[in-house]
Structures are given as structure tokens and as C-alpha cells.
């Protein structure tokens, strides 16, 4: 594997598990020093130790992305412990579901605060740090196909991810003058937990040409590309990694 991120520092939120952990692995394998941030300290530190055990550089830390002071502490630690901040990947997020007519305020606020406000806060604090350091930067936000299409039980989740997509576009416009690129990834169904089973659901399979779960490593590969200089002329876009789910129209022919 090449070293596209040699000499660079990356911060990954939600980096202790699932897609975020795969992104940590990929960036570290390509030479980045990684600050692994997760709401559960033990997960963040375990992932950082695993990276160090493979000869990489990583630091684990705990933070709740809904709390600005936590976020400010994490970004400050990236600069102090690892020397700078070049790449941010926002993978922290939750998907609590409930029917629209039964969804309560607590669930709505928890999802919106984590997925949308959390992304906003981390992006803002990290972008300010990148600007202060006076060097180019790259931000990758993990959105979702649910931010592009409606889905049963996903009123809060879909709204939060649609917000992330629009936030990505707005940030790309405003941060371009500082040489900071901002893109998003919209994953489709990705297998991150054993209880998801071996096969995707029938309603998804009916309109997904590839008819399988994605792997966290596949999302990580796209995140690494978007964060790298190879994507130097791409900003403000949302790139689907969904087996064709969001582009499928009529399948009969």
C-alpha cells in the first residue's frame, strides 16, 4: 500500500468501531498519524494500540461530538500530540429508528444532535485549526443514502444525513479560499454488526444491482481517496458507495 498520507495527521471521529475503525486502519496503513476519537474511550484506545502494534502512529481519546468543549479538546490534542491537523473524517453517528407518528423529541434530538450538530461542531473547530496552521486540508463527512432518499422509520436519521450533505456543500464553498476541500460519502447498507445477518433485506435487494452488503473497508478506501491529493479538484460532492442502490430505476427490460 502506498504512503499518500506520510507526514500528515488525521482525526477520525467514531474511530473506535465500524466504518470509522476501518477508516483509521486505512489512513494509518497509508502513513498517517491518526487521532482516534470515540465516545467510548476503551474503543478508541484499543484501536490506537492496535495501530501502534503494527508500527503506525495513533493516539486514542474520548469525546462526545455533541459537546463543543470535548471537540475543542480533541482538536487541540491532535495539534499538541501529533503536531498538526491535515485530515478530518467525521464517522461518528447513530441510527435510532422509530415510525414518524411515534417518534418522540428525545430520539429526534439525540440523532440530530449527534449526526448533524456533531458534524458541524467538529468541522468548524477543525477547520479553524487548519486555517490557523496555514496549510491545505481535507474533510470527509460520512453521510448516508438515507440523506438522499426517504426510508421508513428514518425521519430523524434521514433528516440528519440530508443536513450533512447540504452542510458539506456549504462548507466546500466557504472553505475553498483556505485550500480546505470538503466532501461526503453516502454509504448504502454496510455490514458492521453480526446481527445484521448474511443477506440484505428484500426491499433493498430489489433495487440494488450488486445485491450485497458493503464492507467497512470499501467505505474506508473511498474516504482515503477523497482525503488524499488524488482528489485535489473535488470538493462539495457526495459520493455514493451503495452497490448502485440510489441510481436504480426500472430493472426490467
Give the catalytic positions in this structure: 157
In a 3-state reduction of DSSP, which class is residue 144?
coil
Q: Which residues, at least 6 apart from 88, have a Cβ–Cβ distance to it below 8 Å?
A: 10, 11, 12, 122, 123, 126, 137, 138, 139, 140
Query: For residues 153, 167, 31 and 92, what is the CA-based torsion angle, rounded to 10 degrees?
Result: -30
As a whole number of angstroms, the distance between CA 95 and CA 107 comes to 10
Distance CA 6, CA 187 (A): 27
Largest CA distance in the chain: 59
Angstrom distances, CA of residue 154 to CA of 120, 192, 244: 20, 19, 20
CA 196 to centroid of chain Cα atoms:
20
Amino acid at each position: 500500500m502506498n504512503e499518500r498520507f506520510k507526514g500528515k495527521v488525521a482525526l477520525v471521529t467514531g474511530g473506535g468501531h465500524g466504518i470509522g475503525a476501518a477508516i483509521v486502519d486505512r489512513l494509518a496503513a497509508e502513513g498517517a498519524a491518526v487521532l482516534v476519537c470515540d465516545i467510548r474511550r476503551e474503543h478508541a484506545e484499543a484501536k490506537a494500540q492496535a495501530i501502534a502494534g503494527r508500527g503506525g502512529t495513533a493516539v486514542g481519546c474520548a469525546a462526545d461530538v455533541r459537546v463543543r468543549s470535548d471537540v475543542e479538546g480533541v482538536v487541540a490534542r491532535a495539534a499538541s500530540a501529533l503536531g498538526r491537523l491535515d485530515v478530518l473524517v467525521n464517522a461518528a453517528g447513530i441510527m435510532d429508528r422509530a415510525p414518524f407518528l411515534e417518534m418522540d423529541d428525545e430520539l429526534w434530538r439525540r440523532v440530530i444532535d449527534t449526526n448533524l450538530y456533531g458534524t458541524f461542531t467538529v468541522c468548524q473547530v477543525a477547520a479553524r485549526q487548519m486555517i490557523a496552521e496555514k496549510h491545505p486540508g481535507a474533510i470527509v463527512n460520512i453521510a448516508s443514502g438515507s440523506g438522499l432518499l426517504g426510508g421508513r422509520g428514518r425521519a430523524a436519521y434521514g433528516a440528519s444525513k440530508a443536513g450533512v450533505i447540504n452542510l458539506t456543500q456549504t462548507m466546500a464553498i466557504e472553505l475553498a479560499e483556505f485550500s480546505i476541500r470538503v466532501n461526503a460519502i453516502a454509504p448504502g447498507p454496510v455490514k458492521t454488526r453480526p446481527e445484521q445477518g448474511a443477506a440484505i433485506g428484500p426491499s433493498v435487494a430489489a433495487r440494488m444491482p450488486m445485491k450485497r452488503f458493503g464492507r467497512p473497508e470499501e467505505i474506508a478506501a473511498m474516504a482515503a481517496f477523497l482525503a488524499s491529493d488524488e482528489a485535489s479538484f473535488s470538493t462539495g460532492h457526495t459520493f455514493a458507495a451503495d452497490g448502485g442502490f440510489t441510481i436504480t430505476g426500472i430493472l426490467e427490460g
